[in-house]
Amino acid sequence: MLKILVVEDDYRLREIIVKNLEKNGYEIIQASNGEIGYQMFEENYVDLIITDIMMPRVDGNTLVKRVRYLNKDIPIIMLTALESYYDKEKSYNNGADDYMVKPVNMKELLLRIKALLKRYKIVSENIFDLGNLHMDYKSKTCLIKQNQITLTIKEFDLLYKLLSSPNQIFTREQLLNEIWGYDSESYERTVDTHIKRIREKISIKEFEIITVRGLGYKVVIK
């Protein structure tokens, strides 16, 4: 399930957005200002961000700049009452991908979300194919040239997550929270151990798992 971070200080509007997105099959995490939103982004893997501009503590433009410092590819939609050309230009220059002026039309927002996810080629299906590699998320099966590769469920989920967003850096904390869950007693070293096992089991020319020193991992498709 694709995960979206919604950052909006207007509680009623945030609730409307969250309920509509959940109704359409998205998993949502939410924040009431940019400071909390950035913390959520650091602690969770998300596929897309929706953020207001005018918020207490940290505004939306500052949030976008901070996110872009860590991740240049994640799709970001700005929702705001500011509609001047200058405001739009500022948001786009800071790294926003799309800009919607309030009041928000939910049907239009959903269309824009789908368009951005498609543009960024974020995997929304349960099947992933890359050259000789085939992964089926529902059955947790991994095939290379029709030969099944034995992966544990955690190894499968970890590889699938990395392959779903090529070139995106995932911190160990993000991967630990996403794959093992917040209540897990596992440590970040657990991620390193599973990456090592995946590398030992799967070595093909189509992709490479890269260690990003001091941060985590990313997949590079060749």
pLDDT at 116: 87
> Which pLDDT band holds residue 30 (cuts at 50, 70, 90)?
very high
Above 80 in pLDDT, residue 122?
Answer: no
Above 70 in pLDDT, residue 47?
Answer: yes
Instruction: Give me the domains of the chain, ranges plus CATH numbers.
Output: 3-119 (3.40.50.2300), 127-221 (1.10.10.10)
Question: Helix crossing, 34-43 with 60-70: angle to 10°?
Answer: 20
Q: Does residue 76 contact residue 48 with C-beta atoms inside 8 Å?
A: yes
Structure tokens at 202: 């799967």
Q: What tens digit of pLDDT does each residue of 146-184 get?
A: 899 999 999 999 999 898 888 888 999 889 888 887 656
Above 80 in pLDDT, residue 203?
Answer: yes
pTM of the model: 0.59
> Which pLDDT band holds residue 125 (cuts at 50, 70, 90)?
low
- Average pLDDT rounded to a whole number, residues 21-30: 92
Question: CA nearest 92: which of 65, 122, 120?
Answer: 65
Q: What tens digit of pLDDT does each residue of 62-113 get?
A: 999 999 888 877 899 999 888 888 888 888 998 899 999 999 899 999 999 9
